[in-house]
Amino acid sequence: METNEKLILDLIRKGEGLNIEFKACREHLNRDVYETVCAFLNRHGGTILLGVQDSGEVAGITQEALARIRKDFVTAVNNPQKLIPPTYLSIDEVTVEGKTLLRIYVPESSQVHRCNGRIYDRNEDGDLDITDHTAQVASLYQRKQATYSENRVYPYIRVEDLRCDLIEKCRRIVRSDNREHPWADMDDLRLLQSAQLYQTDPLTRESGVTLAGILLFAPDQLLLTVRRTAPT
């Protein structure tokens, strides 16, 4: 047995849990797969196996559906109307027991993601919609900010303080790639909010540009100011 197949079988034997999810997807992509992607991004990451039943039975994906499922998945996770902020995930084709599966590794993200406008988190029982649970959402944002310094909010920095030419360049790039991309018609504030470069601090409730947004779009003098005031 090849090493790669053995690794996949070991994952399947462990069963679904905090960082493992099975989706049947024999001929069609399960719609709730994006909720799992969102939950993994928001929690600690995980592996999704397409072509495996909830019971762990290896059903496989039909060859006729394989290319379509891959294309639909990649298109959706890069679409801000489906997943905000969008992300890039690689898909590996693997053969287990003579059947074709797709393996998707989802890393933990530094951002809080939404799927179809809803926030999902992960526990042992699956994907949880926590959008309407204020305390859980605040806790999620706090954990991301504590772990990833680029999420720190600078409330004294306004969108007008950033380089609008760089934001417009970003808008032109997405427009050239996809004329219907939502960012193409957003103003600067809404674009930054969509990319989670403008957030609300869950503790102070103050809103502002994040450190990541500053590093990407701030003029040099503002970058020096932030550097002097940043905590050591």
Digit-coded pLDDT (tens) for 91-123: 999 999 899 999 999 999 988 999 999 999 999
**Residue 228 — very low, low, confident or very high, per pLDDT cuts 50/70/90?**
low
Q: Is residue 113 part of a domain?
A: no
Q: Tell whether the model's pLDDT for residue 16 goes beyond 90.
A: yes
pTM score, whole prediction: 0.76
Amino acid at 101: L
- Written as six digits, the tokens of 137 are 């959402």
Of 79, 106, 133, the last residue of a domain is: 106
**Could you say which of 50, 75, 106 is where a domain stops?**
106
* Host domain of residue 92: 3-106
Task: For residues 187-191, give the mean pLDDT.
Answer: 92
Q: Give the whole-number percent of the chain exceeding pLDDT 90.
A: 52
Q: How confident is the model at residue 1 (pLDDT cuts 50, 70, 90)?
A: very low
Stretch (H or E) spanning 27? none
130: amino acid identity, one letter: I
Q: Please give the Cα distance from 11 to 63 (Å, whole number).
A: 23
The yes-or-no verdict on residue 226 having pLDDT over 90 is: no
At 54, the amino acid letter reads D
Determine the Cα angle at 91 with ends 88 and 92, to 5°: 150
Of all helices (H) and strands (E), which one includes residue 105? strand 99-106
Boundary-marking domain end, from 106, 137, 172 = 106
